[in-house]
A and B are shown apart, each in its own frame.
Chain A
Amino acid sequence: MGADVKASLKLMIVDDSNIIRRRIERSQQIARLEVVGAASNGREAVELFRRTRPDVVTMDLTMPEMDGVECVQKLVAINSNVLILVVSALADKATAVDAIEKGANGFLCKPFTDRQLNDALAELLSEA
């Protein structure tokens, strides 16, 4: 394999909204990313994460069962190399800082355009 060929990366989508899960899957246009699963709450996400071992995760924060911040901590404890983009409506700076401190790598505020989503994912992947 040539040095310029980048390996594909597995993406897991976590959001309690079905339309947001579908929207992210449909709108993300990063060729390297392959969606391997979607979860509707933090508890499901941890189980799916163990099974599918994604490299990249988009993470909602306000969810039933287990919220996104707790989920971020659990995912990072399983694999500290995972790249997590928080996608949340919680627009205060303290929440973004808290998520980053718990192990997330980026923050995208809802509502978002397709371009904003792809820019945020591309920026996240520049760390990979």
Chain B
Amino acid sequence: MLKEAEIRTFIEGATNYFEVSAQQSATVGSPYLVTDGNPGAYEYTGVIGISGTRKGIVYFTAPRGMLTVLLMRMQETDTSDDNIKDLVGEVANTISGNARRDFGKSFVISVPVVIAHDTDKVTAPHRRSYVIPINWRTHSAKLVVCLE
């Protein structure tokens, strides 16, 4: 179960990522709880395994259009599928790593696992997940936090 302050940590991580990397703010919708074990996914998903004092996953999922524009905003000219996958993993890694500012060193994060072009493969380890909707330019993405 996540506390409100803990959800805020992930919201701040997500908004900070866009503010700094894309030099353009993202807005965050109201976080909501999913209880059926299926928080959903877009075309590209970067999954970070969490171990230590907390266990579960954090994932960032976004459509190709958003990730392509994000790469371009970062002055990256190579918008190949490989780089899109790299980016979605890096966003997940950065937001999860930044969460250690509040969660501490015992919030251990894995290297990213990227799932692309197969949304059915994106699954949560527990029935309850918090979904943080992220809107940037005309695009929508989600940050999903599923911790014990």
Task: Determine if B94 is an interface residue (Cβ-Cβ < 8 Å).
Answer: yes
* Chain B: CB-nearest residue to A116: B20
**A interface residues, how many (CB within 8 angstroms):** 24
Task: Determine if A88 is an interface residue (Cβ-Cβ < 8 Å).
Answer: yes
Known: A17-B90, A111-B16, A111-B94. A92 touches B105 (CB 8 A): yes
Task: Say which residue of B23, B90, B100 sits within 8 Å of A20 (CB atoms).
Answer: B90
* Chain B: CB-nearest residue to A19: B86
Q: Are B105 and A91 in contact (CB under 8 A)?
A: no
Task: Determine if B21 is an interface residue (Cβ-Cβ < 8 Å).
Answer: yes
Q: Are A111 and B76 in contact (CB under 8 A)?
A: no
Known: A64-B111, A111-B17. A89 touches B94 (CB 8 A): yes
Q: Are A91 and B100 in contact (CB under 8 A)?
A: yes
Task: Determine if A6 is an interface residue (Cβ-Cβ < 8 Å).
Answer: no
| Docked complex Cα distance between A89 and B95 (Å) | 7
Chain B at the A interface: mostly helix, strand, loop or mixed? Answer: helix
- Contacts of B11-68 to chain A: CB distance below 8 A: 16-17, 20-21, 23
Task: Determine if B104 is an interface residue (Cβ-Cβ < 8 Å).
Answer: yes
Known: A26-B75, A62-B109. A19 touches B97 (CB 8 A): no
Task: Determine if B98 is an interface residue (Cβ-Cβ < 8 Å).
Answer: yes
Q: Are B20 and A17 in contact (CB under 8 A)?
A: no
* Chain A: CB-nearest residue to B21: A111
Task: Determine if A113 is an interface residue (Cβ-Cβ < 8 Å).
Answer: yes
Instruction: Give 1 or 0 for each of A49-63: 1 = CB within 8 Å of chain B CB.
Output: 000000000000011
Task: Determine if A31 is an interface residue (Cβ-Cβ < 8 Å).
Answer: no
Q: Are B111 and A109 in contact (CB under 8 A)?
A: no
Residues of A with Cβ closer than 8 Å to B?
16-20, 22-23, 26-27, 62-64, 88-92, 94-95, 109-113
Give 28 CB contacts A-B under 8 Å.
Answer: A16-B111, A17-B86, A17-B90, A17-B93, A19-B83, A19-B90, A20-B90, A22-B78, A23-B75, A23-B76, A62-B93, A62-B97, A62-B109, A62-B111, A64-B111, A89-B94, A89-B96, A89-B97, A89-B98, A90-B97, A90-B109, A91-B99, A92-B103, A92-B107, A94-B104, A94-B105, A110-B94, A111-B21
